[in-house]
Amino acid sequence: MLNDSDHPRHSAPCHRRQFLTRMGALAGAAAILPGLGGCETAEMHTAPPKKGATLNFDVAVDPFKPLAAVGGFVAADIEGTAVLLVRTAAKEVLAFSRACPHAFLDMAAAPASKYDVAKGVWVCGWHISEFKADGSAVAGPASPSGKLDKFAVTFDGAKGKVTL
């Protein structure tokens, strides 16, 4: 059982950002965009983005470039919903809630979070739980019944366009 005192860098929720907070790239390397400091455990939202809330972007354009390669990921806030976008294959981008079902921490704020291309799993870097593409937990402290919330997303690999 995880206690509050066990949470690394537990801090007060920060104000919502309209947009990006953190992004990762190949092999799990990650970069923190300006303005993330102090928001490691931002208040999580597990509800899907509001109806009509959409995000359209090109993976060739900053700040979405990490999604141009398999294994890259980007964190975004869409109308108050904390979303994690992960490039899992040449023709696939998945969208999850950033709230890990283990301890409801923001997965994008954990330095060790990554998409493990070889295993085909998303790794929550806080306590190293692993999740399959359907969001189900397959390893780590997250309960096997724990599941990442998934959001509908389309990816046009030829054009590099993502619509959420």
Provide the binding-site residues for ligand FES, judged by CB under 6 A: 100, 102-103, 105, 107, 124, 126-127, 129, 140-142
**Is the CB of 150 or the CB of 161 nearer to ligand FES?**
150
Cα distances from 80 to residues 17, 30, 102, in angstroms, run 8, 23, 21
Whether 82 contacts 74, CB under 8 Å: no
User: Minimum distance between the CB of residue 141 and ligand FES, rounded to whole angstroms?
Assistant: 6
Of 59 and 140, the one with the shorter C-beta distance to ligand FES is: 140
Shortest Å distance, C-beta 136 to ligand FES: 14
Question: How far apart are the C-alpha atoms of 46 and 48, rounded to whole Å?
Answer: 6
Between CA 47 and CA 87 the distance in angstroms is 22
Question: Least distance from C-beta 78 to ligand FES, angstroms?
Answer: 21
Decide if 2 contacts 127 (C-beta within 8 A): yes
Q: Which is nearer to ligand FES, 55 or 123 (CB)?
A: 123
